[in-house]
């Protein structure tokens, strides 16, 4: 497929190829859709096997950001950037040069941290352009997004409990968390404080000890996470874990966690969960707290407002699950439609010209 055919199949507005041989920079910025606002999404740095892989990745990820911001009700569009190269070769000059390319877009694209990019890299971008988020809290940035992400996940879990059991009350409910890193640890804290009974799975014994010492609960081994007779499974580690191997093991009626790309195949695995009457809170809906946190940085709102906004994920998750029921679709498909309907509605109202 040619690049323009790919742009048309993903429905992109603009893709910018950036090259600065003097600093070894090869980057691609994809602006997917700016109907709702400037395209925001992180920059990842990877030694892609081929340029075609980099193009595919940036197109796929930037479209995902449009949907995530739209469902979360934010005034942001979707974008993403990739720097092609080995992350161990990065330099100040490379990120400053990249910052200047971002600057040429005049705010149509705003960047943030992503895979293999750091607060320091964002700092170097900031030396050249203001269209960057994710600097340290000490420098006016929004700081670690994990507590906000976990707060949104906590409220998404409450929404699933309400749909399944008629009450959002977490007290006495059993929740198993896979991955007790940044997000999983904070989620355990909120759930513990609300009276949930917790179990954890992680490949890191250090992380497991930390969470058990802080909040009590049991440690699960191997596939026990999938087989757990719990009210909620909360995947907060890695993607692809809901798949043809694990779905037959599931006994919990709810899957609601912070990890990205939980379904190995969105359509196939989403349909299998629907058939088994398992409520799945789509990952990009329930883990939008990180994006909400960055948005609060752009608006200079502060952490308290970010937490309040993340709590609204309760309503969004409920709306998506109920829409899926009414339309007889998977929750992932219902979430996509919520995004598309908001985009179309805002697009329509922009037909009216207003003086600027």
* Residues forming the site for ligand NAD (CB under 6 A): 145-146, 149, 178-184, 201-204, 207, 236-238, 258-260, 287, 290
Helix, coil or strand: residue 26: strand
The dihedral region occupied by 77, where left means phi > 0, alpha psi between -120 and 50, and beta the remainder, is beta
Q: Give the whole-angstrom CA distance, residue 102 versus residue 196.
A: 45
By beta-carbon proximity to ligand NAD, the closer residue of 137 and 203 is 203
By beta-carbon proximity to ligand NAD, the closer residue of 179 and 282 is 179
Q: Which of 283, 234, 303 is nearest to 72 (CA)?
A: 283
By beta-carbon proximity to ligand NAD, the closer residue of 99 and 179 is 179
**CB nearest ligand NAD: which residue?**
181
Size of the chain in residues: 356
Q: Which of 177, 38, 35, 43 is nearest to 98 (CA)?
A: 43
Locus of tokens 């059991």: 165
77-84/39-40 β-pairing:
parallel
Give start and end residues of each alpha helix (H) in 194-330.
205-215, 224-227, 266-275, 283-286, 289-298, 303-311, 313-327
Instruction: Look up 80 and say whether it is catalytic.
Output: yes
Query: What is the nearest approach in angstroms of ligand NAD to the Cβ of residue 97?
Result: 27
Query: What is the nearest approach in angstroms of ligand NAD to the Cβ of residue 148?
Result: 7
Q: Give the whole-angstrom CA distance, residue 264 versus residue 270.
A: 9
Q: Which of 60, 45, 112, 62 is nearest to 293 (CA)?
A: 112
Query: What is the nearest approach in angstroms of ligand NAD to the Cβ of residue 170?
Result: 20
DSSP string, 224-264: HHHH---SEEEE-S-SS-BSTTTGGG---SEE--S-SS-BS
Query: What is the nearest approach in angstroms of ligand NAD to the Cβ of residue 165?
Result: 25
Catalytic residue among 26, 68, 80, 197: 80
43-46/77-84 β-pairing:
parallel
By beta-carbon proximity to ligand NAD, the closer residue of 183 and 333 is 183
Query: What is the nearest approach in angstroms of ligand NAD to the Cβ of residue 143?
Result: 11
C-alpha triplet 26, 28, 29: angle, nearest 5°:
140
Query: What is the nearest approach in angstroms of ligand NAD to the Cβ of residue 203?
Result: 4
Phi, psi of 139, deg, nearest 5: -105, 30
By beta-carbon proximity to ligand NAD, the closer residue of 99 and 134 is 134
Q: Give the whole-angstrom CA distance, residue 175 versus residue 232.
A: 5
Residue 333, token pair as written in the block:
């498909």
Query: What is the nearest approach in angstroms of ligand NAD to the Cβ of residue 237?
Result: 3
Which sequence positions are flagged as catalytic? 80
């Amino acid at each position: 497929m040619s690049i323009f055919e790919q742009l048309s199949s993903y429905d992109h507005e603009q893709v910018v190829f950036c090259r600065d041989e003097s600093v070894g920079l090869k980057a691609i910025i994809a602006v997917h859709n700016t109907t709702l606002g400037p395209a925001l999404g992180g920059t990842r740095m990877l030694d892609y096997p081929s340029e075609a892989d980099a193009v595919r990745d940036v197109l796929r990820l930037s479209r995902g950001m449009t949907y995530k911001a739209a469902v979360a009700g934010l005034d942001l569009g979707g974008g993403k950037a990739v720097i092609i190269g080995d992350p161990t070769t990065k330099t100040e000059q490379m990120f400053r040069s990249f910052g200047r390319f971002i600057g040429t877009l005049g705010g149509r694209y705003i960047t943030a941290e992503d895979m293999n990019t750091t607060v320091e890299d964002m700092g170097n971008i900031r030396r050249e352009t203001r269209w960057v988020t994710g600097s340290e809290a000490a420098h006016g940035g929004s700081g670690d997004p994990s507590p906000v992400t976990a707060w949104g996940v906590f409220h998404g879990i409450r929404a699933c409990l309400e749909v399944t059991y008629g009450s959002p009350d977490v007290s006495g409910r059993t929740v198993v968390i896979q991955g007790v890193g940044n997000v999983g640890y904070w989620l355990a804290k909120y759930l513990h404080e609300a009276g949930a009974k917790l179990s954890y799975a992680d490949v890191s014994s250090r992380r497991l000890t930390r969470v058990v010492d802080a909040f009590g609960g049991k440690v699960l081994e191997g596939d026990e996470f999938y087989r757990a007779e719990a009210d909620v499974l909360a995947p907060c580690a890695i993607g692809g874990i809901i798949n043809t191997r694990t779905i037959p093991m599931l006994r919990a009626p709810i899957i609601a966690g912070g990890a990205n790309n939980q379904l190995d195949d969105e359509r196939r695995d989403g349909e299998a969960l629907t058939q088994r009457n398992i409520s799945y809170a789509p990952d990009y809906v329930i883990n939008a707290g990180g994006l909400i946190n960055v948005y609060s940085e752009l608006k200079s709102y502060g952490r308290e407002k970010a937490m309040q906004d993340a709590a609204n994920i309760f309503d969004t998750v409920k709306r998506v699950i109920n829409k899926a029921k009414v339309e007889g679709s998977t929750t992932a498909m219902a979430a996509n439609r919520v995004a598309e309907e908001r985009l179309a509605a805002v697009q329509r109202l922009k037909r009216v010209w207003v003086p600027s």
